[in-house]
Amino acid sequence: MSPLPPHCQLSRVSRPLIPQSGKRSVTKSRHPIFANSYKLFRLGGKLFGKLFGKLFGSPDVPSADMETLIEGNQALALDLFHQLDSNADNLLVSPLSIRLAFALLQAGARGETALEIAEALHFGLEGERLHAAFNALDLALEARNDPGDKEHDPIELHVANAFWGQAGYDWKDEYLDIIAVNYGAGVETLDFAREPEASREAINLWVEDKTRNRILDLLPEGSIRPDTVAVLTNALYFKAPWAAPFPQGSVQPAPFTRLDASKVQADMMTNTDLFGYVAGEGFEAVELNFRRDELGMIFILPDDGAFEAFEEALDAARLAQILDGLEAVQGTVSIPKFEFEDEFLLSEALRGLGMVSAFESADLSGMIEGHDLFIDEVYHKTFIAVDEHGAEAAAATAIVVGETSVPVEDFEFRADRPFLFLIRDRVNGAILFFGRVTDPTV
């Protein structure tokens, strides 16, 4: 495997927010009664899945299970945020992308491996309850899409999952049915043993397609070897316009104070409108909704000089308190335009969260029998771009499995110093992306 640091910050790229051409995301099967019949078309007829979903609706999931799933998403976001923290200026992870990739793995995990994955990923649900809840969440996110019209830009929120298995291996039908029905996961066979590099390129091309070419080379050279037997992937793509676009001419250069107190010139965008806003001890926060008000982006601005202490102390309870405190207030918001990419090897962070044995010897007997498997590495890449028109973000995760031996009346919010941000589903609370910006110009 080619060496990569635990956290590798990529250089800033300059690409337009208009996505490049690419096929739409994988469609999904959505009803349990087709668990067996899905076997007939899961290798090539993935369009049937979405049709079944529309005919029969989402699985019947108790609201308590959905709350557990969403709370776990928030908890993992903060766990990883602290585990992956480094000296890099900006940082971005997608807890949803990571959890979906591991949900595919969890469907085949047993024993201690299953327990460690569940604890580290904050799944909180077991078996069919977990898969049904993810199924329902995926359908809810899919419903956020809107084609737009002559006056309104589209809203895009696409989730795609895939299982890539070594050709000739006897993967269990029950496992393949679970990930097909609940996650719409396409099942592809590759010959990792004889063609590791071609297999790597095939997976990377799939990721690029599903993320509108925003996530490139998720799997680096050397990540797929002859002893690789499976790769489980998730791709997440989001693009939406603001509900209250920044006025034309609102972008002006202005100083942005970095953590070391030095200043850089950033393109600051200013708008006056009705926003979700809260001010508390040591911080203020504002939410900018996207068109249709079902999705929003929250900016959390710690007090001047207190960013590092605030970030270190931020936990799930404090974050929930901030999000619950947002109220509609008329005010003026100034935020910088920014765009960056990030990438991680997640194995060390996940070990730090208690997932240890799976990287040595994983019990994946629910997936296949008679093979000594282990998680080789977990790759995660993200992208975000924010400008006066809206935001675009993408993420992808790949788990490589190897085999051993084979209110205020008014306010002004000016983010001219380091801040945290997140993109969430405002209806169900799921955090899609969580990051920070300490220098919007890099």
Segment 370-407, tens digit of pLDDT: 999 999 999 999 999 999 999 999 999 999 999 986 45
The series of mean pLDDT values per 10 residues for the chain, 442 residues long, is 34 28 32 35 40 50 94 94 79 96 97 97 95 95 93 94 95 95 92 96 97 98 96 98 92 94 95 95 95 96 94 92 95 96 95 95 95 96 97 98 71 89 91 92 87
Half-sphere exposure of 68 (CA within 13 A, CB side): 18
- What pLDDT does 150 receive? 86
Segment 40-99, tens digit of pLDDT: 334 433 444 444 443 444 578 999 999 999 999 999 999 998 888 666 789 999 999 999
- What pLDDT does 319 receive? 94
Query: Encoding tokens for residue 365?
Result: 């007997």
H helices present in 84-161, as ranges: 95-106, 111-120, 127-142
* Residue 195 near residue 368 (C-beta atoms within 8 A): no
Query: What residue ranges define each of the domains in the chain, with the CATH number in brackets?
Result: 7-241+340-403 (3.30.497.10), 251-336+408-437 (2.30.39.10)
Name the E strands within 191-317.
228-241, 251-257, 263-280, 283-289, 295-302
* Residue 182 near residue 27 (C-beta atoms within 8 A): no
**Cα 93 to Cα 2, 260, 278, 381, distances in angstroms:** 22, 24, 24, 8
pTM score of the predicted model:
0.84
